[in-house]
Amino acid sequence: SLTRTFGVLVGSVKQGYAILATMAAIWIGFVALMMWTEFAHRGPAPEIAGGAMEGKEVRFGIGASSLFAASTTLTSTGAVDSFHSSFTGLGGGITMLGMMLGEIAPGGVGSGLYGILIMAVIAVFIAGLMVGRTPEYLGKKIGTRQIKLAALYILVTPALVLVFTAVAMALPTPPHSILNTASGSVDHSGAHGFSEILYAYTSGANNNGSAFAGLGADTQWFNTTIGLAMLLGRFLPMVFVLALAGSLAEQKPVPATAGTLRTEKPLFTGLLAGAILIVTGLTYFPALALGPLAEGMAA
């Protein structure tokens, strides 16, 4: 409904349909990938159970649990019907990546549509670089000021997630300390232990609320730092979105020409989906490689 409303507001319902198609493609891809990872028969227990049943509610099974897990982390609902920490290594990584995309398929509770619209601005900017034209979106030029605000929006949440995760992993827990950082709160060693901490900050900063249950996060360190990630990760991006909206509203619309990128066409839908995955992948891939990817490849 929000994508159609957006199309009506900008004077072209097809613009909203293009955004909706991107959301749907990402959601379908994530659900299919999650089901594939969880139905894969790797190891004695999954072979006997017919899939990775650990942590799954038997009434729902692997299919519905995978559907729910992918959907709840692509939005910001935070609800769960299975234990994400018990998913396969790659399955747990998919839940994290869904949050890392920034609540865009179909949008987050409280943040709605603006996450994917920011990525649309980035996509037209990339297209402008490729063809050597000043990028435009919905008749508004995307200049230096606009792309800086969009870049700040994109950088805030990853910076919070990665910096807090790195500090939590690096700080030792002194004897009899009340801080209790990673070394005193993680039930698992190795890649899965790192994933538990990465998931906690990703969920907090990206407005989700679900968790990997193996992390003992009820300490002064995690209560404080996850709280800060929640506060800054939810409100700072709104500031940049409003600033970007204001800068675009000040402009007078420019007429479309033969060289204007048609943002209601399937080509733009593909470009937008690719930009989302590439930008997120380049930002988070090193952290994902240390956690869920390492765990999944070792299984």
Write the pLDDT tens digit of every residue in 112-129.
899 999 999 999 999 988
Exposure letters 268-278 (e unless 16+ CB within 10 A, then b): bbebbbebbee
- Please check the confidence at residue 41 and state whether its pLDDT lies above 70: no
Q: Structure pTM?
A: 0.91
Query: Given this model, what pLDDT does residue 265 score?
Result: 92
Domain that holds residue 186: 2-298
Percentage of the chain modeled with pLDDT above 90: 61
Tally Cβ neighbours within 10 Å of residue 138: 19
- Please check the confidence at residue 174 and state whether its pLDDT lies above 60: no
Which residues 6+ apart lie within 8 Å of 170 measured at CB?
Answer: none
- Please check the confidence at residue 76 and state whether its pLDDT lies above 80: yes
Query: Given this model, what pLDDT does residue 182 score?
Result: 60
Q: Domain total for the chain?
A: 1
Q: For the chain, how many residues are written?
A: 299
Structure tokens at 103: 């609540």
When comparing pLDDT for 47 and 72, which is higher? 72
